[in-house]
Amino acid sequence: MDALQLIAENKIKTAQAEGVFEDLEGKGRPVRLDDIHPAGDDHFMANHILKTNHFLPVWLEDRKKLQQEISSCTETLLKGMIVSEEKREAIRQLNRRISGYNLRVPVDSLRLMPVPVPEK
């Protein structure tokens, strides 16, 4: 054990003996482990601030919007409706936004698949 660990252990034992830890806030409640973040301290702090203030990261907000648009396009295509050139261009624009989202998303498994553009 190095000197710093030994000093820390001694201070903790002294505080325990003096009863410093007896009336801590949250005593008897489980420790929340969801605050442990594998991405590192910088990302942890940023995500912690966003989470406690009920904000989502930009890429996650974008994901929600894109998923709604993908569902709408897919539903139209599944109904077998005739797709105009204007709608095909809208799907191409959506696919460009999906590509941009896929570049920003932190985990490959969260990438979105582009919507197939129907032929004329």
- Is the pLDDT reported for residue 31 higher than 70? no
| Domain membership of residue 68 as a residue range | 58-110
Show the tokens assigned to 76: 């139209």
Domain count, the chain: 1
Instruction: Look at residue 79 and tell me if it is in a domain.
Output: yes
Above 90 in pLDDT, residue 112? yes
- Nearest CA-CA partner of 114 in 86, 88, 89, 94: 94
pTM metric for this prediction: 0.56
Listed residue (25, 22, 116) closest to 76, CA to CA:
116
Judged against a pLDDT cut of 90, whether residue 68 lies above it is answered with: yes
Q: Is residue 95 part of a domain?
A: yes
Question: pLDDT at residue 23 above 90?
Answer: no
Residue 40, domain member (yes or no) = no
Which has more confidence, 107 or 66? 66
37 has pLDDT over 80 = no
Q: Note whether residue 115 is domain-resident.
A: no
The answer to whether the beta carbons of residues 111 and 102 sit under 8 Å apart is yes
For residue 70, the model assigns a pLDDT of 93
Q: Does residue 33 belong to any structural domain of this protein? A: no
pLDDT at 61: 86
